[in-house]
Every structure is written in C-alpha cells, then in structure tokens.
Amino acid sequence: MLKRMVKVTPWALSAAPFMVLAQTGLLQGNTSFVERLAGAAGDILQWLVVIFIALAVVFFLWGLLNFMRKEGAERADAKKDMLWGIIIIAVMVSVWGLVEFLQDLVGVDSNVTPQTPSIPVVQ
C-alpha cells in the first residue's frame, strides 16, 4: 500500500496548485505580483497540510481494514500500520496547532496577505 501511495501521491499533488490558484484568482486584482504569489503559496501550503493529513487517515484506515481481514503475522503488521498512522496524524495535527498557537502569540494574522513595498519601474 505504501509503495502505491508513493507512486500516486506526486501525481495527485501536482493538480493541487491549479485548483488553489483557480479559486484565489491569482491573475486578478490590484495587488502586486509578490503579494499574490505569497497568498497563493500560503493557500497551497494549507491545502498540502490537509491533503497529507487525509493521506495519513487513509493509511490508518487501510491498516485497520487489513487488521480485520488478516491473521497471525500479517495482523501484527497491520497493527504497526495503524500505530504509525495514528503517530503521523498526531504529529501533523500537533505541528499545525503549534504553528497556529505561535502565530497567535506573536500576533500574526494568517488571513492577511503581507504588504510588500512596490518596486520602482524604469520607464
């Protein structure tokens, strides 16, 4: 299962920027390119975190399914897969929560795109 996920994941993730950029309207508006790029990068990172957490949940559920179907040594392997799925989910959600906590502590609003100075243009 893990080998299949390693093969499929890059293809699935390659479509994520197009979905995010289509929703954010990167090519529209009166903001500078750097501001739009920073906003798009933040949106892409948020979606990647959600996708990775979803993949960890699928990995856990796959281990659970194998645990229910198999017996003996294969059942022990399924237990390990379930344990690793729980560990991965816990670590990812904890890091996500820690980042949010540090943003609140420092006073960074994650919903605001940072203002960048305009670059003078030679005409």
Q: Can you give the pLDDT at residue 21?
A: 54
Q: Can you give the pLDDT at residue 26?
A: 47
Residues 60/82, Cβ–Cβ less than 8 Å: yes
The answer to whether the predicted template modeling score (pTM) of the entire model surpasses 0.85 is no
Mean pLDDT of 87-96: 89
Segments making up each domain of the chain, as ranges: 53-110
Q: Can you give the pLDDT at residue 65?
A: 92
What residue has token string 């929703």? 23
pLDDT tens-digit profile of 21-55?
A: 554 444 455 566 777 777 788 788 888 888 988 99
Q: Can you give the pLDDT at residue 1?
A: 66
pLDDT at residue 6 above 70? no
Mean pLDDT of 77-98: 89
Cα three-residue angle 20-90-4, rounded to 5 degrees:
60
